[in-house]
Each structure stands twice: as structure tokens, then as C-alpha cells.
Structure 1
């Protein structure tokens, strides 16, 4: 995080900063700030599991306008700017066009270390597993969102996330055609930390199932 902060501050010295490993900084320009998770998937990294990422987002007047998620192990760079679509390396990406949940794969995070949202997640799984082709838990929310953008997953949901966990991935998924809301109707994941993300063709049925649990 120290290296990323130094580089971004040199490039845009007036912007604010929100990072996982350091104190927030209010920039001279109050309308813009970087939102950074220098290592999303820390437990994977520590255990030698090759699934983790660097996530960087740029916020302007409360709206995320650009995002980067870099999977160094696979050399996959997911990148977007608002209104310009989503890309992986030099290839345009788009969400899947699968209609049937029974043919679809979804991703989530499983609460650990006594987190209070475990019962809700177990109820979600009890509802979803009989209705789909599978659920994956790979431990990096930024990549889960990027994988929805790339059509690898058909949806993603999770509770209790921090803004730096999801900021970069949210705009990448949106620019690839995903619909995203908070788990509670009328809420925003950027504020609540609770996310439902799915393709346009599946969002209604997927969100209804998660919310019904």
C-alpha cells in the first residue's frame, strides 16, 4: 500500500485517499479520492494460494468513475472507466448470457472468525444450492466481481464488506453489464457493504432468492 500511495500521490497530489492499511487522507480536492486494497485475498496469499489481487478505484463526488483489479498470479488486468466498458488485458469483456440458474455458477464469501453474518449466509446457501450449478468461495471479492464481469460467474453476493474490498470490482462489473444493489432493497453496497451482483437476465430471480432467505 505504501508504494501504491506514493505513486498515486505523485501523479495526483491533490486527491484524497482511502486504503485498507493506512489512515484516510482528505485531499486538497475534496471531490476526488483513491480507494485502494493493496492485497485483496490476504489469507490466500499467506497460504500460497494463487488467487489474490490489487484493487484500485477512483471516486469523484461520491461516484466511482474508474477501477482496476490486477490478478498478478494469472497476469489478468481488469480495468474500466465509467461509460467506456470493461476490459481484461486487451480484450473487451461482458457478463454471461445464461438464463437458467440451474446452469449458472455464483460466488460468495463465507464469514469467518465468529462474524455475526454467518447464519444469514448459511440460509442463503440453503436456498441457492438446490437451484444452481454451483457456488464458489475463493476469498477475494474484487476478483469475484471481475469474474462476473468476464462471464465466468453469473452472480455474486456477500455481506460485511469494506468499500476498498469492492470499489474497483463494482464499476468493472457494472461496465460489463451487471446489475448491482445492496442486499436490502433501496440500499447501496458502497454504503452498506452488502452486495448483490448478477447479470441483467438473472438479477431479478437471483436477488429475490437471496433476499428471501
Structure 2
């Protein structure tokens, strides 16, 4: 099923319609686009899936983790996926990567709309996720209850006026840092009780 017929494309179109209403006006605006993908059951379109050679995908190095010295509930959860063969695991990876390719395409639609309106350089853009995906690591899928690098180490990209370009960091920041950061970038007062991550402020600021 292509993105246009799924939640991914429909939600992006809602965002496009919103931009059409506000982008040429004088009032400031905020557009929050929340996508379900990439998420199990990893439903994707054939076009995106065909970009990936399933047989050439490498399984995660820890896919056969015995989960020694881990809580018993981890091993119990792993039993659900024990019957998946290596080919099926690679197909799951291809579907997941295809989801991300589809997101890139939809995100590009939004960026192009900003470019066409000459508003891209005047817009703060944030791309991030709420959690990662095990995708076979430790013999598990989804996020569930596991405390692991695959779940907690997620991407966060910021761009726009006032944000330093080309800065990459592994500093510990979280989604809770976004609200005070956005308020600071647009010159608004901070919410009472909010705490600003000083490291995050330093790496974001272009001056």
C-alpha cells in the first residue's frame, strides 16, 4: 500500500494543507507532524521495499543474544520471535528501512513547500523520534520494556535561524529539552518550572 493511502501520507497531507493556510501570512505558526511509522508491523509500499536487497542485509550482530544475566521477562519475550528464520528477519529489516525511505520522501514534500514559499530559511525545523526499535537486536523486536541502546539512542536534528550548522554531538539530551529550546530560539519567555539543558543551548546556538 503506497504512503498516500496510509496514515503516513494522510498526515503529511494534513500538514501540507495547514502550511497552505498559514505560510504566507504574517502571524507566527507551529506545525507538529506526528507520524506512526516506522513502527511494527512495518507496513510499507512495494516501491520503497524494492529499493532494498533483502538477501544482502546484515542481521544485527547481537541478534542471537542469549540474554544471560538479563531479567527473565526478556527471554520470555524473545520466545515470540524464535520461530522467525533469518530470511524473515531480513525482510522485517527491509520493511523498516522502507518505512524510513517513505518518511524521507514525505518530509521532503514539507521542505519543498517551505522552499517554494521562501520560508525555509526563516523556519525552525526539528526531526526526532520518541524511541528506537530493537529490529532483531537481542532477539527482540519493537520497544517493549527493554533498557537498551537501540531504544534510547535516537536521532535528533535541528535546523533553522539561530541554530549552529554542521554541529554533531553525542551529548545527553532528551525530548524534554525541546520545549525550552524552542521558546528560547523564538524569543519567548520560559514556562515556569522548566529547566534548560545548558549543553543543548550551547550546541544549538549559532552565536
Q: Is this a same-fold pair by TM over 0.5?
A: no
Structure with larger Rg? 2
- TM-score band, normalised by shorter chain: under 0.3
After TM superposition, the score normalised by the length of structure 1 is 0.25
